Structure 1
Amino acid sequence: MNRTAALPLDEAQTRSMVDWAIITRRSVRAFLPTLIPQAEIEAILSTARHSASGMNMQPWQVHVLMGAAKEQLTAQLTAIDNEPQASACLDEPYNYYPTQWVSPYLERRRKVGWDLYGLLGIEKGDKQRMHAQHGRNYRFFDAPVGLFFTVDRALQEGSLLDYGMFLQSVMVAARGRNLHTCPQAAFLKFHRHISKALAIADNQMLVCGMSLGYADDSAIENTLVTQREPIASFTTFHHTINQGD
Protein backbone atom coordinates (compact mmCIF):
# COMPACT_ATOMS: atom_id res chain seq x y z
CA MET A 1 0.00 0.00 0.00
CA ASN A 2 1.21 3.49 -0.86
CA ARG A 3 2.02 5.33 2.38
CA THR A 4 0.46 8.49 0.99
CA ALA A 5 -2.64 6.74 -0.32
CA ALA A 6 -6.06 8.33 0.12
CA LEU A 7 -8.66 6.93 2.51
CA PRO A 8 -9.75 3.46 1.31
CA LEU A 9 -13.30 4.08 2.54
CA ASP A 10 -15.20 7.24 3.28
CA GLU A 11 -14.04 9.12 6.37
CA ALA A 12 -16.72 7.81 8.72
CA GLN A 13 -16.17 4.19 7.67
CA THR A 14 -12.39 4.46 7.99
CA ARG A 15 -12.66 6.04 11.42
CA SER A 16 -15.06 3.34 12.53
CA MET A 17 -12.77 0.53 11.37
CA VAL A 18 -9.66 2.02 12.96
CA ASP A 19 -11.50 2.65 16.23
CA TRP A 20 -12.92 -0.90 16.16
CA ALA A 21 -9.46 -2.44 15.77
CA ILE A 22 -8.05 -0.43 18.68
CA ILE A 23 -11.01 -0.83 21.05
CA THR A 24 -11.47 -4.57 20.44
CA ARG A 25 -7.79 -5.30 21.03
CA ARG A 26 -7.59 -7.18 24.34
CA SER A 27 -5.50 -9.86 25.98
CA VAL A 28 -6.90 -13.24 24.95
CA ARG A 29 -5.90 -16.19 27.12
CA ALA A 30 -7.30 -19.14 25.18
CA PHE A 31 -6.77 -19.73 21.47
CA LEU A 32 -8.00 -22.12 18.84
CA PRO A 33 -5.43 -24.43 17.19
CA THR A 34 -6.29 -23.00 13.76
CA LEU A 35 -3.02 -22.50 11.91
CA ILE A 36 -2.01 -19.05 10.68
CA PRO A 37 -0.23 -18.95 7.30
CA GLN A 38 3.25 -17.47 7.42
CA ALA A 39 2.19 -14.98 4.75
CA GLU A 40 -0.44 -13.60 7.14
CA ILE A 41 2.14 -13.11 9.89
CA GLU A 42 4.43 -11.39 7.42
CA ALA A 43 1.58 -9.09 6.39
CA ILE A 44 0.96 -8.10 10.01
CA LEU A 45 4.64 -7.35 10.59
CA SER A 46 4.86 -5.52 7.26
CA THR A 47 2.09 -3.20 8.43
CA ALA A 48 3.58 -2.74 11.91
CA ARG A 49 7.01 -1.82 10.52
CA HIS A 50 5.58 1.58 9.62
CA SER A 51 5.31 2.47 13.31
CA ALA A 52 6.96 5.69 14.42
CA SER A 53 10.45 5.59 15.92
CA GLY A 54 12.88 8.32 16.95
CA MET A 55 15.23 9.23 14.08
CA ASN A 56 13.71 6.28 12.18
CA MET A 57 15.87 3.85 14.20
CA GLN A 58 13.29 1.06 13.94
CA PRO A 59 14.68 -0.79 17.00
CA TRP A 60 12.53 -3.91 16.73
CA GLN A 61 13.71 -7.46 16.12
CA VAL A 62 11.08 -10.23 15.94
CA HIS A 63 11.35 -14.00 16.42
CA VAL A 64 8.36 -16.07 15.29
CA LEU A 65 7.71 -19.57 16.61
CA MET A 66 5.31 -22.10 15.14
CA GLY A 67 4.95 -25.85 15.04
CA ALA A 68 7.71 -28.00 16.50
CA ALA A 69 9.92 -25.06 17.45
CA LYS A 70 7.16 -23.55 19.57
CA GLU A 71 6.28 -26.87 21.19
CA GLN A 72 9.91 -27.66 22.04
CA LEU A 73 10.54 -24.29 23.65
CA THR A 74 7.27 -24.24 25.60
CA ALA A 75 8.07 -27.71 26.95
CA GLN A 76 11.46 -26.47 28.18
CA LEU A 77 10.04 -23.37 29.85
CA THR A 78 7.15 -25.26 31.46
CA ALA A 79 9.54 -27.81 32.95
CA ILE A 80 11.61 -25.05 34.54
CA ASP A 81 8.52 -23.21 35.76
CA ASN A 82 7.30 -26.37 37.48
CA GLU A 83 10.61 -26.82 39.31
CA PRO A 84 10.60 -24.35 42.25
CA GLN A 85 14.35 -24.35 42.82
CA ALA A 86 15.17 -23.79 39.15
CA SER A 87 12.50 -21.13 38.79
CA ALA A 88 13.70 -19.26 41.88
CA CYS A 89 17.12 -18.73 40.29
CA LEU A 90 15.77 -16.86 37.30
CA ASP A 91 16.22 -13.12 36.80
CA GLU A 92 14.75 -10.56 34.42
CA PRO A 93 16.52 -8.30 31.94
CA TYR A 94 14.70 -5.20 33.18
CA ASN A 95 11.93 -4.22 35.60
CA TYR A 96 8.70 -4.17 33.66
CA TYR A 97 6.60 -3.75 36.80
CA PRO A 98 7.34 -1.42 39.74
CA THR A 99 9.35 -2.85 42.61
CA GLN A 100 6.82 -1.27 44.98
CA TRP A 101 3.18 -1.02 43.96
CA VAL A 102 1.27 2.15 44.82
CA SER A 103 -2.32 3.33 44.29
CA PRO A 104 -4.11 3.30 41.87
CA TYR A 105 -1.96 0.75 40.02
CA LEU A 106 -2.06 -1.76 42.85
CA GLU A 107 -5.86 -1.79 42.85
CA ARG A 108 -6.04 -2.13 39.06
CA ARG A 109 -3.57 -5.01 39.11
CA ARG A 110 -5.51 -6.82 41.83
CA LYS A 111 -8.82 -6.31 40.07
CA VAL A 112 -7.77 -7.83 36.77
CA GLY A 113 -6.17 -10.75 38.58
CA TRP A 114 -9.17 -11.56 40.74
CA ASP A 115 -11.62 -10.96 37.92
CA LEU A 116 -9.77 -13.55 35.85
CA TYR A 117 -9.50 -16.04 38.71
CA GLY A 118 -13.15 -15.49 39.55
CA LEU A 119 -14.19 -16.47 36.03
CA LEU A 120 -12.03 -19.59 36.28
CA GLY A 121 -13.29 -20.49 39.75
CA ILE A 122 -9.85 -20.15 41.32
CA GLU A 123 -10.23 -19.18 44.96
CA LYS A 124 -7.83 -16.96 46.89
CA GLY A 125 -5.03 -19.05 48.33
CA ASP A 126 -5.32 -21.84 45.75
CA LYS A 127 -1.66 -21.61 44.80
CA GLN A 128 -1.65 -24.79 42.75
CA ARG A 129 -4.35 -23.60 40.36
CA MET A 130 -2.88 -20.10 40.27
CA HIS A 131 0.45 -21.56 39.27
CA ALA A 132 -1.17 -23.72 36.61
CA GLN A 133 -3.07 -20.78 35.13
CA HIS A 134 0.01 -18.55 35.12
CA GLY A 135 1.95 -21.38 33.51
CA ARG A 136 -0.36 -21.25 30.49
CA ASN A 137 1.64 -18.16 29.50
CA TYR A 138 4.54 -20.42 28.63
CA ARG A 139 2.39 -22.40 26.19
CA PHE A 140 1.28 -19.14 24.55
CA PHE A 141 -2.23 -20.01 25.79
CA ASP A 142 -2.27 -22.71 23.08
CA ALA A 143 -2.01 -20.14 20.29
CA PRO A 144 -0.50 -21.51 17.07
CA VAL A 145 1.97 -18.61 16.87
CA GLY A 146 4.34 -17.26 19.50
CA LEU A 147 6.42 -14.14 19.04
CA PHE A 148 9.40 -12.77 20.91
CA PHE A 149 10.57 -9.19 20.57
CA THR A 150 14.10 -8.03 21.29
CA VAL A 151 15.95 -4.71 21.26
CA ASP A 152 19.61 -3.79 21.02
CA ARG A 153 21.06 -3.26 24.50
CA ALA A 154 22.97 -0.20 23.23
CA LEU A 155 19.70 1.71 22.86
CA GLN A 156 18.02 3.75 25.57
CA GLU A 157 14.56 4.22 27.09
CA GLY A 158 13.31 6.13 24.06
CA SER A 159 13.59 2.99 21.97
CA LEU A 160 11.31 1.19 24.41
CA LEU A 161 8.74 3.93 23.80
CA ASP A 162 9.14 3.29 20.07
CA TYR A 163 8.80 -0.42 20.74
CA GLY A 164 5.48 0.10 22.48
CA MET A 165 4.12 1.74 19.34
CA PHE A 166 5.38 -1.18 17.25
CA LEU A 167 3.76 -3.74 19.55
CA GLN A 168 0.45 -1.84 19.44
CA SER A 169 0.66 -1.78 15.65
CA VAL A 170 1.22 -5.55 15.57
CA MET A 171 -1.84 -6.09 17.75
CA VAL A 172 -4.06 -3.68 15.83
CA ALA A 173 -2.97 -5.15 12.47
CA ALA A 174 -3.87 -8.57 13.86
CA ARG A 175 -7.36 -7.33 14.75
CA GLY A 176 -7.76 -6.13 11.18
CA ARG A 177 -7.44 -9.79 10.21
CA ASN A 178 -9.86 -10.97 12.92
CA LEU A 179 -6.96 -12.36 14.95
CA HIS A 180 -6.27 -11.78 18.62
CA THR A 181 -3.13 -11.40 20.67
CA CYS A 182 -1.83 -11.45 24.22
CA PRO A 183 1.32 -9.44 24.98
CA GLN A 184 3.26 -11.22 27.72
CA ALA A 185 5.87 -9.91 30.14
CA ALA A 186 5.70 -13.31 31.87
CA PHE A 187 8.41 -14.60 29.53
CA LEU A 188 11.00 -12.12 30.81
CA LYS A 189 12.32 -14.39 33.57
CA PHE A 190 13.22 -16.92 30.89
CA HIS A 191 15.21 -14.47 28.78
CA ARG A 192 18.44 -16.44 29.07
CA HIS A 193 16.80 -19.73 28.10
CA ILE A 194 14.92 -18.13 25.22
CA SER A 195 18.04 -16.40 23.90
CA LYS A 196 20.01 -19.64 24.02
CA ALA A 197 17.27 -21.72 22.38
CA LEU A 198 16.75 -19.23 19.55
CA ALA A 199 20.43 -18.26 19.18
CA ILE A 200 19.62 -14.62 19.88
CA ALA A 201 22.72 -12.43 19.87
CA ASP A 202 24.11 -11.30 23.23
CA ASN A 203 23.56 -7.65 22.32
CA GLN A 204 19.79 -8.23 22.08
CA MET A 205 17.51 -7.87 25.15
CA LEU A 206 14.13 -9.58 25.38
CA VAL A 207 11.33 -7.00 25.51
CA CYS A 208 8.34 -9.36 25.79
CA GLY A 209 6.55 -12.29 24.19
CA MET A 210 3.18 -12.39 22.46
CA SER A 211 0.56 -14.99 21.57
CA LEU A 212 -1.18 -14.72 18.21
CA GLY A 213 -4.14 -16.64 16.81
CA TYR A 214 -7.90 -16.96 16.68
CA ALA A 215 -9.66 -16.57 20.03
CA ASP A 216 -11.48 -19.55 21.51
CA ASP A 217 -14.83 -17.88 22.13
CA SER A 218 -16.03 -20.87 24.16
CA ALA A 219 -13.36 -20.29 26.83
CA ILE A 220 -14.70 -18.55 29.92
CA GLU A 221 -11.49 -16.58 30.43
CA ASN A 222 -12.05 -14.82 27.12
CA THR A 223 -15.18 -13.18 28.47
CA LEU A 224 -12.94 -11.00 30.63
CA VAL A 225 -13.01 -7.40 29.45
CA THR A 226 -10.88 -5.09 31.56
CA GLN A 227 -12.11 -1.64 32.50
CA ARG A 228 -10.61 1.56 31.15
CA GLU A 229 -10.56 4.88 32.95
CA PRO A 230 -12.58 7.77 31.44
CA ILE A 231 -10.49 10.41 29.70
CA ALA A 232 -11.40 12.93 32.41
CA SER A 233 -9.32 10.91 34.88
CA PHE A 234 -6.07 11.30 32.94
CA THR A 235 -6.48 14.35 30.70
CA THR A 236 -6.01 18.04 31.47
CA PHE A 237 -6.89 20.67 28.87
CA HIS A 238 -4.83 23.85 29.31
CA HIS A 239 -6.44 27.02 28.02
CA THR A 240 -4.04 29.36 29.81
CA ILE A 241 -0.51 29.00 31.21
CA ASN A 242 1.24 30.49 34.21
CA GLN A 243 2.96 33.74 33.29
CA GLY A 244 5.67 33.50 35.95
CA ASP A 245 6.38 35.74 38.90
Structure 2
Amino acid sequence: MSIPHIDQQVSARVSDAASVDTAILSRFSARAFLPQAVERSVLEEVLQVASRAPSGTNTQPWKVYVLQGAKRDELVAKTCAAHDAISANPALAAEYAEVYDYYPEKWVSPYIDRRRECGFGLYGVLGIGKGDKDRMHAQHQQNFRFFDAPVGLVFTIDKVMGRGSLLDYGMFLQSVMLAARARGLHTCPQAAWNNFSKIILPHVGAGENEMVVCGMALGYADEAALVNTFQTTRVKAQDFTHWVA
Protein backbone atom coordinates (compact mmCIF):
# COMPACT_ATOMS: atom_id res chain seq x y z
CA MET A 1 0.00 0.00 0.00
CA SER A 2 1.53 3.30 -1.06
CA ILE A 3 1.18 6.60 0.72
CA PRO A 4 -0.98 9.05 -1.25
CA HIS A 5 0.87 12.12 -2.40
CA ILE A 6 -0.99 15.39 -1.86
CA ASP A 7 0.48 18.07 -4.06
CA GLN A 8 -2.25 20.56 -3.33
CA GLN A 9 -3.25 20.12 0.30
CA VAL A 10 -5.69 23.01 0.31
CA SER A 11 -7.65 21.61 -2.65
CA ALA A 12 -7.58 17.96 -1.60
CA ARG A 13 -10.95 16.33 -0.97
CA VAL A 14 -11.76 13.41 1.30
CA SER A 15 -13.95 11.34 -1.00
CA ASP A 16 -14.94 8.72 1.57
CA ALA A 17 -15.83 10.34 4.89
CA ALA A 18 -17.19 7.03 6.20
CA SER A 19 -13.74 5.41 6.04
CA VAL A 20 -12.21 8.27 8.01
CA ASP A 21 -14.94 7.99 10.61
CA THR A 22 -14.53 4.21 10.77
CA ALA A 23 -10.81 4.54 11.40
CA ILE A 24 -11.57 6.81 14.36
CA LEU A 25 -14.56 4.89 15.73
CA SER A 26 -12.94 1.46 15.39
CA ARG A 27 -9.79 2.50 17.21
CA PHE A 28 -9.65 0.99 20.67
CA SER A 29 -7.01 -0.23 23.09
CA ALA A 30 -6.47 -3.78 21.88
CA ARG A 31 -5.14 -6.04 24.63
CA ALA A 32 -4.55 -9.26 22.70
CA PHE A 33 -2.69 -9.60 19.41
CA LEU A 34 -1.90 -12.30 16.90
CA PRO A 35 1.75 -13.32 16.37
CA GLN A 36 1.44 -12.26 12.72
CA ALA A 37 4.41 -10.10 11.75
CA VAL A 38 4.02 -6.55 10.49
CA GLU A 39 6.13 -5.66 7.49
CA ARG A 40 8.67 -2.89 8.01
CA SER A 41 7.37 -1.11 4.91
CA VAL A 42 3.92 -0.89 6.53
CA LEU A 43 5.39 0.52 9.74
CA GLU A 44 7.34 3.07 7.73
CA GLU A 45 4.14 4.14 5.96
CA VAL A 46 2.29 4.53 9.26
CA LEU A 47 5.03 6.70 10.74
CA GLN A 48 5.45 8.76 7.58
CA VAL A 49 1.73 9.53 7.44
CA ALA A 50 1.69 10.35 11.16
CA SER A 51 4.58 12.76 10.67
CA ARG A 52 2.05 15.21 9.22
CA ALA A 53 0.55 15.67 12.69
CA PRO A 54 0.51 19.32 13.76
CA SER A 55 2.92 20.74 16.31
CA GLY A 56 3.50 24.22 17.66
CA THR A 57 5.75 26.18 15.27
CA ASN A 58 6.42 22.84 13.54
CA THR A 59 8.76 21.66 16.31
CA GLN A 60 7.85 17.99 15.67
CA PRO A 61 8.98 16.89 19.17
CA TRP A 62 8.49 13.15 18.68
CA LYS A 63 11.09 10.42 18.53
CA VAL A 64 10.08 6.80 17.97
CA TYR A 65 11.86 3.55 18.77
CA VAL A 66 10.47 0.47 17.02
CA LEU A 67 11.10 -2.84 18.78
CA GLN A 68 10.68 -6.21 17.12
CA GLY A 69 12.17 -9.66 17.51
CA ALA A 70 14.93 -10.23 20.05
CA LYS A 71 15.23 -6.60 21.15
CA ARG A 72 11.51 -6.48 21.87
CA ASP A 73 11.69 -9.74 23.80
CA GLU A 74 14.69 -8.57 25.83
CA LEU A 75 12.88 -5.41 26.93
CA VAL A 76 9.81 -7.46 27.84
CA ALA A 77 11.92 -9.82 29.98
CA LYS A 78 13.72 -6.98 31.79
CA THR A 79 10.57 -5.01 32.53
CA CYS A 80 8.50 -8.02 33.61
CA ALA A 81 11.28 -9.00 36.02
CA ALA A 82 11.21 -5.51 37.54
CA HIS A 83 7.41 -5.58 37.72
CA ASP A 84 7.52 -8.93 39.55
CA ALA A 85 10.17 -7.61 41.93
CA ILE A 86 8.01 -4.61 42.84
CA SER A 87 5.06 -6.93 43.47
CA ALA A 88 7.19 -8.95 45.87
CA ASN A 89 8.67 -5.86 47.51
CA PRO A 90 6.53 -2.71 47.01
CA ALA A 91 9.31 -0.53 48.43
CA LEU A 92 11.15 -0.99 45.14
CA ALA A 93 8.50 1.09 43.38
CA ALA A 94 10.36 4.22 44.50
CA GLU A 95 13.16 3.26 42.11
CA TYR A 96 10.78 3.37 39.17
CA ALA A 97 9.07 6.74 39.42
CA GLU A 98 7.43 8.47 36.47
CA VAL A 99 9.37 11.40 35.09
CA TYR A 100 6.17 13.37 34.58
CA ASP A 101 2.70 13.16 36.12
CA TYR A 102 0.50 11.38 33.63
CA TYR A 103 -2.38 11.21 36.11
CA PRO A 104 -3.45 13.81 38.70
CA GLU A 105 -2.09 13.61 42.24
CA LYS A 106 -5.63 13.83 43.56
CA TRP A 107 -8.59 12.31 41.75
CA VAL A 108 -11.96 14.08 41.66
CA SER A 109 -15.28 13.43 39.94
CA PRO A 110 -16.11 12.88 37.15
CA TYR A 111 -12.63 11.60 36.25
CA ILE A 112 -12.27 9.12 39.10
CA ASP A 113 -15.72 7.74 38.25
CA ARG A 114 -14.76 7.15 34.63
CA ARG A 115 -11.47 5.58 35.70
CA ARG A 116 -13.23 3.17 38.03
CA GLU A 117 -15.82 2.30 35.41
CA CYS A 118 -13.04 1.47 32.98
CA GLY A 119 -11.13 -0.68 35.47
CA PHE A 120 -14.16 -2.53 36.80
CA GLY A 121 -15.41 -3.07 33.26
CA LEU A 122 -12.16 -4.52 31.98
CA TYR A 123 -11.64 -6.85 34.93
CA GLY A 124 -15.31 -7.76 34.86
CA VAL A 125 -15.02 -9.00 31.27
CA LEU A 126 -12.02 -11.08 32.31
CA GLY A 127 -13.72 -12.38 35.45
CA ILE A 128 -11.05 -10.94 37.75
CA GLY A 129 -12.39 -10.11 41.20
CA LYS A 130 -11.34 -7.04 43.17
CA GLY A 131 -9.29 -9.05 45.66
CA ASP A 132 -7.63 -11.35 43.13
CA LYS A 133 -4.20 -9.73 43.33
CA ASP A 134 -2.36 -12.47 41.44
CA ARG A 135 -4.61 -12.28 38.38
CA MET A 136 -4.66 -8.49 38.52
CA HIS A 137 -0.87 -8.49 38.58
CA ALA A 138 -0.72 -10.91 35.65
CA GLN A 139 -3.16 -8.84 33.61
CA HIS A 140 -1.32 -5.61 34.38
CA GLN A 141 1.92 -7.29 33.33
CA GLN A 142 0.44 -7.89 29.91
CA ASN A 143 1.26 -4.22 29.33
CA PHE A 144 4.94 -5.07 29.60
CA ARG A 145 4.53 -7.90 27.13
CA PHE A 146 3.01 -5.44 24.64
CA PHE A 147 -0.08 -7.66 24.93
CA ASP A 148 1.84 -10.15 22.75
CA ALA A 149 1.90 -7.72 19.83
CA PRO A 150 4.90 -8.33 17.55
CA VAL A 151 5.72 -4.62 17.48
CA GLY A 152 6.43 -2.44 20.47
CA LEU A 153 6.81 1.31 20.04
CA VAL A 154 8.51 3.59 22.55
CA PHE A 155 7.96 7.33 22.21
CA THR A 156 10.37 9.82 23.74
CA ILE A 157 10.75 13.57 23.86
CA ASP A 158 13.62 15.92 24.57
CA LYS A 159 13.46 16.99 28.22
CA VAL A 160 13.97 20.61 27.24
CA MET A 161 10.55 20.78 25.60
CA GLY A 162 7.58 22.34 27.41
CA ARG A 163 4.20 20.92 28.34
CA GLY A 164 2.72 22.17 25.10
CA SER A 165 4.84 19.64 23.24
CA LEU A 166 2.96 16.87 25.03
CA LEU A 167 -0.20 18.25 23.43
CA ASP A 168 1.58 18.02 20.07
CA TYR A 169 2.62 14.50 20.95
CA GLY A 170 -0.96 13.46 21.60
CA MET A 171 -1.91 14.51 18.08
CA PHE A 172 1.02 12.54 16.69
CA LEU A 173 0.05 9.43 18.66
CA GLN A 174 -3.53 9.63 17.41
CA SER A 175 -2.21 9.97 13.87
CA VAL A 176 -0.10 6.82 14.34
CA MET A 177 -3.13 4.90 15.59
CA LEU A 178 -5.41 6.06 12.78
CA ALA A 179 -2.82 5.36 10.09
CA ALA A 180 -2.47 1.90 11.61
CA ARG A 181 -6.23 1.35 11.45
CA ALA A 182 -6.20 2.32 7.77
CA ARG A 183 -3.88 -0.64 7.21
CA GLY A 184 -5.87 -3.18 9.19
CA LEU A 185 -3.75 -2.86 12.33
CA HIS A 186 -4.71 -2.17 15.90
CA THR A 187 -2.84 -0.50 18.72
CA CYS A 188 -2.81 0.08 22.45
CA PRO A 189 -1.20 3.28 23.77
CA GLN A 190 0.43 2.50 27.11
CA ALA A 191 1.32 4.91 29.89
CA ALA A 192 2.23 1.86 32.01
CA TRP A 193 5.73 1.89 30.52
CA ASN A 194 6.45 5.36 31.92
CA ASN A 195 7.56 3.98 35.29
CA PHE A 196 10.33 1.94 33.71
CA SER A 197 12.24 4.58 31.79
CA LYS A 198 15.49 3.63 33.58
CA ILE A 199 15.19 0.23 31.88
CA ILE A 200 13.80 1.41 28.55
CA LEU A 201 16.07 4.32 27.65
CA PRO A 202 19.41 2.49 27.76
CA HIS A 203 17.86 -0.54 26.09
CA VAL A 204 16.74 1.43 23.03
CA GLY A 205 19.86 3.60 22.97
CA ALA A 206 18.12 6.86 23.86
CA GLY A 207 20.15 9.89 24.86
CA GLU A 208 20.37 11.35 28.36
CA ASN A 209 18.32 14.32 27.17
CA GLU A 210 15.28 12.12 26.38
CA MET A 211 12.35 11.04 28.51
CA VAL A 212 9.70 8.41 27.83
CA VAL A 213 6.29 9.75 26.82
CA CYS A 214 4.58 6.37 26.52
CA GLY A 215 4.75 2.99 24.85
CA MET A 216 2.43 1.42 22.31
CA ALA A 217 1.59 -2.11 21.22
CA LEU A 218 0.94 -2.50 17.50
CA GLY A 219 -0.11 -5.46 15.40
CA TYR A 220 -3.09 -7.45 14.21
CA ALA A 221 -5.69 -7.76 16.96
CA ASP A 222 -6.86 -11.20 18.04
CA GLU A 223 -10.55 -11.03 17.18
CA ALA A 224 -11.28 -14.17 19.20
CA ALA A 225 -9.79 -12.84 22.45
CA LEU A 226 -12.35 -12.12 25.17
CA VAL A 227 -10.44 -9.07 26.39
CA ASN A 228 -10.92 -7.39 23.00
CA THR A 229 -14.68 -7.41 23.47
CA PHE A 230 -14.37 -4.80 26.22
CA GLN A 231 -15.62 -1.39 25.16
CA THR A 232 -15.32 1.85 27.06
CA THR A 233 -18.14 4.37 27.14
CA ARG A 234 -17.92 7.94 25.88
CA VAL A 235 -19.60 11.11 27.06
CA LYS A 236 -21.99 12.49 24.46
CA ALA A 237 -20.74 15.53 22.57
CA GLN A 238 -23.71 17.55 23.83
CA ASP A 239 -22.53 16.99 27.39
CA PHE A 240 -19.04 18.42 26.94
CA THR A 241 -19.79 21.06 24.30
CA HIS A 242 -20.66 24.65 25.12
CA TRP A 243 -22.02 26.77 22.29
CA VAL A 244 -20.96 30.37 22.79
CA ALA A 245 -22.77 32.92 20.63
TM-score bracket relative to the smaller structure: over 0.9
Question: Which whole-Å CA distance do the structure 1 matches of 2:70 and 2:192 have between them?
Answer: 21
Structure 1 residues 3 and 180, CA, compared in 2 at 3 Å: closer, same or farther? farther
Q: Per-residue CA shift, 1:144-183, capped at 9, x if unaligned?
A: 0000000111110111110000000000000000100000
Determine helix, strand or coil for the equivalent of 1:82.
helix
Identify the residue that residue 6 of structure 2 maps to in structure 1.
2
Q: 1:123, 1:169 → 2: CA distance?
A: 35
1:231 aligns with 2:237: yes
| Kept in 2: contact 1:80–1:87 (CA 8 A) | no
Cα distance in structure 1, aligned partners of 2:39 and 2:25: 25
Does the 8 A contact of 1:22 with 1:172 survive in 2?
yes
CA distance in 2, matches of 1:212, 1:3: 30
Partner Cα separation in structure 1 for residue 153 and residue 203 of structure 2: 14
Give distance in 1, aligned partners of 2:130 and 2:69: 35
Q: Which of the pair has more CA radius of gyration?
A: 1
- Counterpart Cα distance in 2 of 1:43 and 1:8: 21
Query: Are positions 1:208 and 2:210 aligned together?
Result: no
| Distance in 1 of aligned mates of 2:13 and 2:44 | 21
CA deviation vs aligned residue, 1:75-127 (integer Å, no higher than 9, x gap): 01001100123445311110101111100110110111111111111011111
2:21 matched residue in structure 1? 19
Q: Provide the rounded CA distance (Å) in 1 between the counterparts of 2:231 and 2:7.
A: 33
- Cα distance in 1 between the residues matched to 2:179 and 2:188: 13
1:97 maps onto 2:103 in alignment: yes
Q: Which residue of 2 aligns with 1:117?
A: 123
The equivalent of 1:31 in structure 2 is 33
Deviations 1:115-143 (A, max 9, x none): 11111110111111101000000000000
TM-score by length of 1: 0.93
Structure 1 residues 9 and 232: alpha-carbon distance in aligned structure 2, compared to 1, 3 A threshold: closer
How many percent of aligned residue pairs carry the same amino acid? 50
Task: Please give the secondary structure, in 2, of the residue aligned with 1:31.
Answer: coil
Give runs of aligned pairs for residues 1-245 of structure 1, distance below 5 A: 1-4=5-8, 7=12, 10=15, 14-84=16-86, 85=89, 86-239=92-245
Q: Which runs of 5+ in 2 are unaligned?
A: none
Post-superposition Cα deviations, 1:177-213, rounded to whole Å, max 9, x if no partner, equal: 0100000000001011101111210111100000000
8 Å contact 1:62–1:148 — kept in the other structure?
yes
CA contact (8 A) 2:6 2:12 kept: no
CA positional deviation for 1:9 = 6.1
Distance between the aligned counterparts of 1:179 and 1:196, measured in 2? 28
Structure-2 separation of matches of 1:170 and 1:45: 6
CA distance in 2, matches of 1:3, 1:48: 17
